[in-house]
Amino acid sequence: MDENAIVFHIGPLPITEAVITTWGIMALLVLACWRVTRRLKRSPDGWQNVLEGVVLTMQDAIEEIVPGRSQRLLPFVGSLWIYLVFANLAGLVPGLHSPTGQLAVTSGLAILVFLATHWFGVRESGWLPYLRHYVQPNPILLPFNIISELSRTLALAIRLFGNVMSLEMAALLVLLVAGLLVPVPLLMLHVVEALVQAYIFGVLALVYIAGGLESHTATNPDQDNPS
């Protein structure tokens, strides 16, 4: 729980352990993808198959929630999914901590989702129609809509942070009271939880974005604000 472990400074900017881990994950992903996609073949084999499978699965999942717009949303939501899976699982590597176990990282991701909601919504329907959905059934609801926007962003950040941090902490506590190999079942739970939380973060981001996209059509109003 050394959340502000500063490794070194770049000028006045302190670089913490979470940033280094994130850079490492980024470098790993970019290098792996670059190596695999250097020589693309028309009939994929080996790692190219794996990558295409991953991308297609994510595209299908997005297509189910937001039909017809998966091409536009795939870069953002897919990046969230892939990064979160690796970031959550990084805590299992000895000597590393999950970057997502720190509130600063998850807040950053949640703010990105918050901005992306408005970005995609405005791009889809223009400024005025997008802003109009805040006063849609009745202008009295405006404060509630704004509060719900903010609180769901906060909830997104706290949920991921709390889950990852509490799992690491639980393993640590069990190690403290029990012994060397006893936390292993908890670490297995960590694997499941890491995948589930990454999935849920991405799906919630997707649902929020879908709510922004569908704001001007208001086809299914009961589904566009689940917080």
Residues that bind another protein (CB under 8 A): 64-65, 155, 158-159, 161-163, 166, 169, 196, 199-200, 203-204, 207, 226-227
Nearer to another protein, 118 or 159 (CB): 159
Integer angstrom CA distances of residue 212 from 16, 88, 123, 134, 205 = 34, 28, 10, 10, 11
The helix-helix angle for 47-65 and 17-36 (nearest 10°) equals: 110
Of 122 and 158, which has the nearer Cβ to another protein? Answer: 158
User: What does the alpha-carbon distance between residue 102 and residue 80 come to, in Å, rounded to a whole number?
Assistant: 16
Q: What's the CA gap between 22 and 100, in Å, rounded?
A: 9
**From the CB of 200, what's the least distance to another protein, in Å?**
4
Q: Please give the DSSP secondary-structure letter assigned to residue 227.
A: -
The closest of 4, 17, 160, 167 to 85, measured between CA atoms, is 160
Cβ proximity to another protein: between 83 and 161 the closer is 161
Minimum distance, C-beta of residue 136 to another protein, in the bound complex (Å): 22
Write down the least CB distance from residue 126 to another protein, Å. 28
CB of 162 to another protein, least distance (A): 3
CA distance 93 to 143: 45
Cβ distance to another protein smaller for residue 17 or 193: 193
| Rounded CA separation 167/90 (Å) | 13
Q: How far is the CB of 3 from another protein (least distance, A)?
A: 11
Residue (3 or 52) nearer to another protein, CB? 3
